[in-house]
Every structure is written in structure tokens, then in C-alpha cells.
Amino acid sequence: MATATDDATSEVKPTHVAIVMDGNGRWAQARGKRRTAGHRAGVATTRKIVERCGELGIKVLTLFAFSSENWNRPEDEVGVLMTLFIEALGREVKDLHRKNVCLEFIGERERLSEKLQRKIRESEELTAGNGGLKLYIAVSYGGRWDICQAARMVAERVADGSLAAADITEQHIHDHMALAQVPDPDLFIRTGGEKRISNFLLWNLAYAELYFSDRLWPDFDAPALDDALSFYASRKRRFGRVPDTHGPTRSEVG
């Protein structure tokens, strides 16, 4: 009998997967541990999911690591998260480089410490020439911030006379979004049982298939990812068009 893993390797796959990695704190609390222990466990899961996406030939993976709103969490938890980012970069980036992963970060870098900003720049520079999986990490990121900063740059063009306000199109906004250089996500995954987007890639998720898993992020393994990919393959994506009753029943876009 075919397994979810078999299906994932043979069915239509998304080009770009975006994931909200939710549930680290609850995972730790359920085990009588501090929330920060869940964040550390989540790093191991992230490594496995990145590896699986690379194995499957997925082109782009965007992970929501720390939102604009997460700055409102307790100061000690935010501090541990920032330390984890620095540790993970130091530990993981060389392995990502060996695996041909191109690593980039999106978000308000100015809010991050100078040390973390430096680590981010070094990681991006090291992996810039790699042609495998493009891995985007959203840190200090919010979808509304992303749209605002794009609108601000378009407004600057209007102010300097290089663009007329009447000529502004969706493409002008899109060209200044954080992920303008890659296709929009085909599949959005959120773990942890919550069923909301939470200010993640608001512009880019307009036509993504939405998949919600009850698994907490530290428990979200490769077979769980394969289940999400099988869900995606079962969808018929029409992008507002009239459905073709004689066409394929699976996703029209890989």
C-alpha cells in the first residue's frame, strides 16, 4: 500500500512552501519544561523539514521564525530566542552551505542586535552562490510591515517624479515586497492547531492553499510534511477561473 512519503515523491509538488512554525512553547509546557526548551526542540525540527524539502526538490521554503508581534513576549523569552538564532546560524549555516542551500532573511533587521545582523550578513554572503533550495527565514517580520515598506518605496518614486500616481499597479507594489524575487507561496502550512495566518506574507498568500496541522512544531516531522504535500496535490487550483470539468483533478500548478 502506498504511503504518504511515496505520494509526496510522486505527486504534483509546490514550488514554494511557507510555514508558520507554531507550538514550541505549548510543547514544552505539556512536558513540564520552560517554553524556551520548546524553541530549542523546534530548531531540530526545522533542520529535518529543510532537509526533506531539499530531498523533494522544492525550490523555495519560507519559515516564520519571529514576528513583529513577538517582540511583545516576555523579555527573557525574546532574549533566549535571539541567542538561539545566533547559535543556530553558527552551527547550521556551514551544513546548509554544503547542501547547496541559499539562505536569506526577511524582516526589520534594524530591530535586531548588531551581532545578529552581522551573523545574518555572513550567512547570506556564504550561501549566496548556491543553486539548491532557497531558504527564507522571516525574523522581526510582519505582513503589514512588508506592505507598508513596499508602499513607501512606491511613494518615493511618485515623489521624485519617476512614477505617476495614476500609473501605480499591483506589480509596482509586488516588486518592492520582501519576496519579490521568488514565486508566491503555493502552499501555506501552520502547525500547532491554530487556524489563522497571523500577519504572515499577507500579500503573497493571496492564492496559496492553506493547510493547518494540529501537531505542535517540535512534533512536525517529515511524514507530517508529506501529508501536507499530499493535501496540496489533491487541490485543483483555479486562481479565479472557471473550473475545467474535463481537466485534471489535481493541482494545476506545480
Q: Check which CATH number belongs to the domain holding 216 and give it.
A: 3.40.1180.10
pLDDT of residue 114: 94
CA 219 remoteness from chain centre: 18
229-239 mean pLDDT: 87
pLDDT of residue 110: 93
pLDDT of residue 241: 64
Q: Which domain holds residue 176?
A: 13-234
> Is 22 labeled as catalytic in the residue annotation?
yes
Nearest to 42 by CA among 54, 55, 26: 26
Confidence of residue 243 (pLDDT cuts 50, 70, 90): low
pLDDT of residue 77: 83
pTM of the model: 0.88
**Which residue among 22, 184, 186, 226 is the active-site one?**
22
**In contact, 194 and 137? CB cutoff 8 Å:** no
**Which residue among 7, 70, 199, 219 is the active-site one?**
70
Confidence of residue 73 (pLDDT cuts 50, 70, 90): confident
> Is 76 labeled as catalytic in the residue annotation?
no
Confidence of residue 2 (pLDDT cuts 50, 70, 90): very low
Residue 31 lies in a domain: yes
112-133 mean pLDDT: 95
Residue 250 lies in a domain: no
Residue 147 lies in a domain: yes
